[in-house]
Amino acid sequence: MKYGINVGIAQLPATFGDAAGQLARLESLLAAHRADFVLLPELALCGYVSPRGNFDLTPFAEPLDGATAHILADLARRHGIGLAGSLVERDGPDFYNSYLLFDREGRRIGHWRKRHPWYPEAWATPGDLGTPVVDFEGIKVCAGICFDLHFIEQDAWDELQAADLLLFPSAWVEEHDSRNDRLAALARRHGIAVANANWGAGAPFVPSQGMSMIFDGQGNRLAETTAHSTTAWCEARLEIKTD
């Protein structure tokens, strides 16, 4: 059978250490739009890098069930949506670039750790959870985080084949942006819808900000924000065949 789901991307600008400001922007987007499922860019609340080039995010680290998880869970519950967002996860001596998924009741149903931290992410431990596929209302969901895209097919071919929807949060920095071609080809090869929430233009400003995108399982781009946009929203209805 086919299942229709409205997927939204809440694109937030690049900031650093301004969780309150980012949450205010997110609340405004969620109040203005209605979707079944919403995802945020990579490390959108705490920031990915400072305007001065500081990549050390360990001061923002917290446990898996810390403040950020509670905030995301509360947003999911109040707005009645599936919600996926990032945190810097502290687990004993290790720090992970992590992505969490909450259902409409605010229950955590997905947890991914970035398997391949980008070179400046010296603070981050490579993720050790694999690429789990989880269920959201009958839709099979998996995730890869930014630099993971370069390795995801060799790491998780079977998972991509099994899933209906790939969540791809990013803080993309390429001067010549290759995301569209890479994600469209991946969607076609695996018959998987892809939702890419990219960071918006902000501080720092770097190439390839903006242009968050949603693809169907044939690699067609259904929705996008504009290149170098800041706070923005895009949404598409996905028709997914479920078991």
What's residue 241's pLDDT? 75
pLDDT: which is higher, 242 or 16: 16
Which CATH number fits the domain that encloses residue 140?
3.60.110.10
Given a contact cutoff of 8 angstroms between Cβ atoms, the answer to whether 43 and 120 are in contact is: no
List Cβ neighbours of 158 (8 Å cut-off, separation of 6 or more).
none
What b/e sequence results for 139-168 when a residue is b if at least 16 CB atoms lie within 10 Å of its CB, and e otherwise?
bbbbbbbbbbbeebeebbeebbeebbbbbb
Query: In what side-by-side order are the strands of the sheet with 165-170?
Result: 134-136, 139-143, 165-170, 193-198, 213-215, 221-224
Q: Is a pLDDT exceeding 80 seen at residue 2?
A: no
| Residue pLDDT, tens place only, 48-69 | 999 999 999 999 999 999 999 9
Given a contact cutoff of 8 angstroms between Cβ atoms, the answer to whether 234 and 212 are in contact is: yes
Q: Is a pLDDT exceeding 70 seen at residue 95?
A: yes
Q: Is a pLDDT exceeding 70 seen at residue 145?
A: yes
What's residue 240's pLDDT? 81
What's residue 3's pLDDT? 76
Write down the pTM of the prediction. Answer: 0.97
Residues 81 and 190: their CA atoms lie apart, in Å, by 26
Structural domain boundaries, residue 187? 2-241
Q: Is a pLDDT exceeding 70 seen at residue 1?
A: no
What's residue 108's pLDDT? 98
| Residue pLDDT, tens place only, 163-216 | 999 999 999 999 999 999 999 999 999 999 999 999 999 999 999 999 999 999
Mean predicted lDDT score pLDDT of the chain: 97
Q: How many domains does the chain have?
A: 1
Across the range 124-145, mean pLDDT stands at: 97
